[in-house]
Amino acid sequence: MPFPLIRPLRLATSSFVLLLCALAHAQNAPPPASANTPAAHPAGSAPVDGTAPAPAGTAGTVAAAPTAADAALLSRDARRIYELSRDKLVQIRTLLRNANTQASIGSGFFVSADGLIVTNFHVASQLALEPERYRGVYVTMEGQEGEVELLAFDVQHDLAVLRAKERKAAAPVLGFRPAAEALAQGERIYSLGNPLDIGFAVTEGTYNGLVKRSFYPRIFFGGALNPGMSGGPAVDDAGRVLGVNVAKRLDGEQVSFLIPAEFAQALVQRAANAEPITQAAHAEMTRQLMEHQQLLTDRFLKAPFREQRHGNYRLPVPDDALARCWGSGRDPNFPGLNLERTQCQADSDVVAGDFSTGAVRLSYEAYNAPTLGAARFARVFSKSFENERLQTRGNRHQTAAECTERFVDPGTVPLRAVVCLSAYRKLTGLYNMTVLAASVNQPTQGVLGRLDVQGIAFDNGMKLASHYLKAFRWEAAP
């Protein structure tokens, strides 16, 4: 399940409403509702990283309810953090150059006296990819406003560094928490930003470890984030930055995510002596996405597939460390036909401007219909294969898919295989790839498999397709 971003607040209200209603990136083909199993988890179940919540009391005892004095202490801490941080926070606005109207907003914070500001890449992406149409400004809590210029961005970790132009006074800055001071489970965190363009705010929450099975490290923040807080700082009890606000789950409550501060620190160092980005930076974004897809390919090729049994078939599913998988049983709408489904998804998608890429998804359908007859089964099985959706038409980001179909026998089970590629128009050398596979060795049994990989280079796509098809197996009964 990808992490829905706390997107910079756009002015178009309808788009904002759609964003809140979506469970995942609207740009991606989301898994069906059944795949969003976490949404059905009852309140109080284990957090997404699988670690147990920090105990509020001693083991085996019931924690005492917070007292009025405890509540007052928490409120004083949040107030203290707010007062410590307020002059270091800014709102980041992107404006249409021609009309000078606001296009989006996010949050940021000063990290150097000469005016360097950290925020998310998805807050500043319009400045990186369409600088001829958009310009950026920062606004302090006191309403002071100034121009910003983009110095560097990190697509993989969704970070950007801006500089406040023509600022004469030294900027007050937030310091980073040293990496050697590891966070403790249950440690209190304070997140700051400008939610929904209502005004600067602080929210309290807890540290719950790093999210497991996230392709890049993310801190699981047990607190509330809202659109407009993207790029704001999350600080510890001493007011030191430990993370950057980035995303939240829309199917849960107070399940939010932070980018660890170490990645922001590394980008600040890169940006310190960088020249401003004044031309569309698709080439740099492509370079970073190429690194991402290479890392993705290496991890998937290095980790052997696990086998999932469906009768005599053995289907390839990703290692548990790479992806989450969900399954469902027989569908009552198919009488006389046993059908099992599996869906897997890696949390590997990254923001590429106003869309996301980099995700990997696998899905299977296993059919068994011993009483249906070979001809009727063939019609049902073929119809399911034909119903698989492909990008048959191009759009402003990608070309229409071009497909190749072959019957292949990798030595373990004969397959009908289709490989489709759709090229990114402005990200030269990157494609979205879909691999469809259907077994053709049994008259009343069969499996359909689908692999979708976004933002992959051609050579690596072919390696993953071959790796995937060779992993299908059939074991005849002894």
pLDDT digits (tens, 9 = 90+) for 407-423: 998 778 999 999 999 99
- Residue 69: the pLDDT is 58
- Which tokens hold the place of 171? 């900027």
Q: Are strands 313-317 and 350-351 parallel, antiparallel or unpaired?
A: unpaired
Q: For the segment 382-393, what is each residue's pLDDT rounded down to a tens digit?
A: 999 998 988 888
- Residue 7: the pLDDT is 52
- What H or E segment, with its residue span, contains residue 20? helix 13-21
Which residues does 387 contact at the CB level (< 8 Å), separation at least 6? none
Tell me: pLDDT of 285 over 90: yes
Which residues does 68 contact at the CB level (< 8 Å), separation at least 6? none
Question: How far is it, in rounded angstroms, from Cα 23 to Cα 248?
Answer: 10
Question: How far is it, in rounded angstroms, from Cα 309 to Cα 319?
Answer: 15
Strand, coil or helix: 17: helix
pLDDT class of 32 with cuts at 50, 70, 90: very low
Strand, coil or helix: 142: coil
CA distances from 347 to 134, 252, 263 (A): 30, 17, 18
- By percentage, how much of the chain surpasses pLDDT 70? 83
